[in-house]
Chain A
Amino acid sequence: MSEEELDPAIHVPARLRIMVTLASLPDGDDLSFTRLQDLIGLTPGNLITHLRKLEDTGYITTHKNGGGVTGRTSVALTLGGRSALDRYSAALRELLDSASPPAPGTRT
Chain B
Amino acid sequence: MNEEAGTTSAPGSGEAAGLDAQGAAVIMQQARERAGSELRVRRPMLFVTWGLVLLIGYGAMWLSVLGQQPFRGPAWPTLLLAFLLLLAALIITAQIVDWAASGVGGRSEVQRGIFALALAAGYAALLIEKIAVAGAGVSRPVQAVLGAAAPMLAAGLVFVATSAVAARLNWTRLALGLWLLAVAAGGAWGGPVTTFAVCALAGGGGVLLMAVVEPRLRRS
Measured between alpha carbons, how far is A26 from B104 in the docked complex, in Å?
10
Contact yes or no, A21 B25, CB < 8 A: no
Contact yes or no, A46 B11, CB < 8 A: yes
Measured between alpha carbons, how far is A25 from B166 in the docked complex, in Å?
12
Contact yes or no, B11 A49, CB < 8 A: yes
For B186, list chain A residues within 8 Å (CB).
none
The answer, yes or no, to whether A31 is at the interface (CB within 8 Å) is: yes
Interface residues of B (CB under 8 A from A): 3, 5-11, 15-16, 19-25, 27-28, 31-32, 34-36, 38-39, 102-109, 166-167
Contact yes or no, B7 A31, CB < 8 A: no
Across the A-B interface, give the 8 residue pairs with the lowest CB-CB distance, nearest first: A13-B6, A35-B103, A28-B107, A32-B103, A24-B35, A20-B31, A29-B106, A95-B21
For A50, list chain B residues within 8 Å (CB).
11
Contact yes or no, A36 B103, CB < 8 A: yes
What number of residue pairs across chains A and B have CB atoms under 8 A from each other?
Answer: 112
Whether A3 contacts B20 in the complex (CB less than 8 A), given A13-B7, A49-B11, comes out as yes
The answer, yes or no, to whether A42 is at the interface (CB within 8 Å) is: yes
Measured between alpha carbons, how far is A16 from B7 in the docked complex, in Å?
9
The answer, yes or no, to whether A82 is at the interface (CB within 8 Å) is: no
Contact yes or no, B103 A99, CB < 8 A: no
Contact yes or no, B31 A92, CB < 8 A: no
The answer, yes or no, to whether A41 is at the interface (CB within 8 Å) is: yes
Contact of B107 among A3, A27, A46, A49 (CB under 8 A): A27
Whether A41 contacts B24 in the complex (CB less than 8 A), given A29-B104, A30-B105, A35-B103, comes out as no
- Chain A to chain B contacts (Cβ below 8 Å), 17 pairs: A12-B19, A13-B19, A14-B9, A15-B11, A17-B7, A17-B27, A21-B31, A21-B34, A24-B35, A26-B107, A26-B108, A28-B106, A31-B105, A38-B103, A39-B34, A92-B24, A95-B21
Measured between alpha carbons, how far is A52 from B177 in the docked complex, in Å?
44
For B3, list chain A residues within 8 Å (CB).
13
For B109, list chain A residues within 8 Å (CB).
29
The answer, yes or no, to whether A57 is at the interface (CB within 8 Å) is: no
For A49, list chain B residues within 8 Å (CB).
10-11
Measured between alpha carbons, how far is A36 from B31 in the docked complex, in Å?
11
Which residue of the partner chain B has the closest CB to A20?
B31
Contact yes or no, A39 B35, CB < 8 A: yes
Contact yes or no, A34 B103, CB < 8 A: yes
Contact of A26 among B19, B34, B35, B167 (CB under 8 A): B167
Measured between alpha carbons, how far is A16 from B16 in the docked complex, in Å?
10
Contact yes or no, A30 B106, CB < 8 A: yes
Contact yes or no, B11 A74, CB < 8 A: no
Q: State how many angstroms separate the Cβ of B16 from the closest Cβ of chain A.
A: 5
Contact yes or no, A96 B22, CB < 8 A: yes
Q: State how many angstroms separate the Cβ of A95 from the closest Cβ of chain B.
A: 4
For B27, list chain A residues within 8 Å (CB).
13, 16-17, 20
For B15, list chain A residues within 8 Å (CB).
12
Whether A40 contacts B167 in the complex (CB less than 8 A), given A16-B27, A30-B104, A31-B104, comes out as no
